Chains A and B, each alone.
Chain A
Amino acid sequence: MSKIYFSRSMTRTMSADHPVGDPTGGAAYGEKNDPISAAISLATMYGTASAGFAAMTVMQGITFAGAAMSLVGNVTGNKTLSKIGMITGIAGGIGSFAESKGLFSSGNLKESLGMGTPAASNTGTAAGAMQSKSGSLSQTPSTDVADEMAAARQSAAVEKARIAGPDGTVKSTAAQPGAAYQTTAPAGTTAPPSSSAEYLKDFKPADYSAGSITTGKTVGLTTNPPPAGTPQLNVPNEPGVFDNLKKGNYWEATKQAGSAINPITNPYGAMAAGSIAQPISDYLSGKTDAEIDALEAQTGYADARAMQMQEEIATEKRRRANLNAGYGQVNTGINVNPAAMAQAQAGGLISGAMQPA
């Protein structure tokens, strides 16, 4: 007589779904504690107060997938999907159709959550309410990078005009100690030179004098070309932005382009350039974060396929081994602990009675 014993972990798992000592508990009584049911029950975090709003928003999502649902419905003959797909083609989508059928009970709550806007009320259609809600949920920033850059340039121009000398050029810190602090210091005052030098020592302003954009490690803190005869530091020439672009070294090129914006004359521009450097670099190199994530996910998919294949190979090997051994001793791939079997409880009244005498 073959017997099957569950492991302790399996027994524990089963006891979670079928509680011992609770005759009215368990899955048969609607108490589902298995992992999937528990995950599904997480949706209870959406309280009843927001049920109508959340349901409307989720149903709007169905509208986006309506064509796919309609396609699947038509191909498979699933009329529910076909109907959903068709309703999504109606103006306002399935959300408004459902609302017109009174599917959402929390009408007052919808108004309090901003779904019953005057505009929507004026149109007299649920579609208007859907569209007004959609606007409030938009994740698109109110201003784009171009606007921010334009504002930054304008601010920088004002600041430059304020700290510039009579000839319109920004002098070095040697000529105007603490110039950088003039942007924040009260009118008519200057910050201590030592603080200014401390502040500026980390900057590596660009050198435009060579005719190409470089990181400018060879000059002091001035935007003007050094006078003839000025001693220069002996730093090896580094490739410029365009050199790096040609070589495909996009990250270095982007960094250099960002550093070429003088933080003294255009602090906001430098800040903006620095903040967009990474995305531009990603774009130029052809890999965005999302693409990299997608590649990782594809790798995981391939790994999963490989694991599946290995399992199939192991099963086939086991089958052949059993076949070659004439099934004299079957290897099921399951390890049984004999000690645990020895400690197994004696059979109960029924199973004991079924044992051969």
Chain B
Amino acid sequence: MAIIQDKMARPEGDDLDTETIKKNINMPPELQEAYERVVIAGMKVMFSKESHKLMLDEFQKEGPLGEKLGKGIAGLMLLLVKESNGTIPPEVIVPAGINLISRAADFIRKSKLEKITNADIGDAIEIFTSTILEKFGVDPAKMADMLNQYSNENIPAEMGA
């Protein structure tokens, strides 16, 4: 039986909110503080008076909302990595970015800036993750190949599947 159950998909169903996504991010204790600090720093950049207009401008641009959101948060995370002089542990980048995507999505939904769906959030997380991995040296094509190869049957035995 396939683990992925397409019928579970509810792109237009209950809204994915920050709390739901946050609960499913499980950081180890030694990285929890760094993770929270990165999320807070990202929120400050997104919502501070000085830079909030930039975020609104990004959303006004043409293109799918998921792509704008994913690439925008990827740019934000890379900016934070640079501003921290590389002190941000790389492990927290993806979880913190996903948290920020959900917060930005909440903001878009509540402010009625645009109509955002669960599918947009999914696209945003996928684009964000692939963008970050690409910038850290993972070839997106190889990553896609790897995921395509994946199935219940071909997980290496030594990996405990």
A residues at B contact (CB < 8 Å): 35-37, 39-40, 42-46, 48, 51-52, 54-55, 57-62, 64-65, 67-84, 86-87, 90-92, 96-98, 100-104, 124-125, 127, 137-140, 290, 293-294, 296-297, 300-301, 303-305, 307-309, 312
Contacts of B125 in A (CB 8 A): 69, 72, 78, 81
**Contact count band on B:** 35 or more
A and B contact pairs by CB, cutoff 8 A, 20 listed: A36-B75, A43-B136, A52-B137, A58-B94, A61-B92, A61-B94, A67-B25, A68-B25, A69-B125, A71-B21, A75-B14, A76-B122, A79-B4, A82-B3, A83-B147, A90-B160, A98-B146, A103-B146, A294-B40, A304-B107
| Alpha-carbon gap, A213 to B8, bound state (A) | 64
| Alpha-carbon gap, A67 to B10, bound state (A) | 17
Q: Decide yes or no: A65 and B95 within 8 Å by CB, A73-B122, A75-B16, A77-B6 being known contacts.
A: yes
A77 touches B159 (CB 8 A): no
Residue ID in chain A nearest B103 by CB atoms: A301
| Alpha-carbon gap, A116 to B41, bound state (A) | 34
Say how far A260's CB is from chain B's closest CB, in angstroms: 30
| Alpha-carbon gap, A69 to B56, bound state (A) | 26
Contacts of B95 in A (CB 8 A): 61, 64-65, 68
| Supplied contacts A101-B149, A139-B30, 18 more A-B pairs, CB within 8 Å | A35-B75, A43-B81, A48-B137, A52-B137, A54-B137, A57-B90, A58-B91, A61-B95, A75-B10, A79-B4, A80-B126, A83-B150, A90-B159, A125-B158, A139-B34, A139-B89, A294-B36, A300-B48
Residue ID in chain B nearest A37 by CB atoms: B75
Say how far B50's CB is from chain A's closest CB, in angstroms: 10
A124 touches B11 (CB 8 A): no
| Alpha-carbon gap, A245 to B103, bound state (A) | 38
A72 touches B121 (CB 8 A): yes
Query: At the interface, yes or no: B115 with Cβ under 8 Å from chain A?
Result: no
Partner pick for A124 among B78, B79, B91, B158, CB 8 A cutoff:
B158
Residue ID in chain B nearest A125 by CB atoms: B158
B136 touches A39 (CB 8 A): no
B52 touches A42 (CB 8 A): no
- Top 5 A-B pairs, shortest CB-CB distance: A77-B9, A51-B137, A43-B135, A91-B160, A76-B122
Q: Among the interface residues A45, A84, A127, A297, which one has the most CB atoms of the partner chain B within 10 A? A: A297
A297 touches B37 (CB 8 A): no
Contacts of A140 in B (CB 8 A): 29-30
The A-contacting residues of B in range 103-161, CB under 8 angstroms, are 103, 107, 110-113, 118-119, 121-123, 125-126, 129, 131-133, 135-139, 142-143, 145-147, 149-150, 155-156, 158-161
Say how far A279's CB is from chain B's closest CB, in angstroms: 13
B155 touches A97 (CB 8 A): yes
Contacts of B75 in A (CB 8 A): 35-37, 39-40
Say how far A332's CB is from chain B's closest CB, in angstroms: 15
Residue ID in chain A nearest B151 by CB atoms: A83
Partner pick for B78 among A40, A87, A137, CB 8 A cutoff:
A40
Q: Decide yes or no: A80 and B110 within 8 Å by CB, A36-B75, A61-B94, A75-B13 being known contacts.
A: no
Say how far A60's CB is from chain B's closest CB, in angstroms: 5
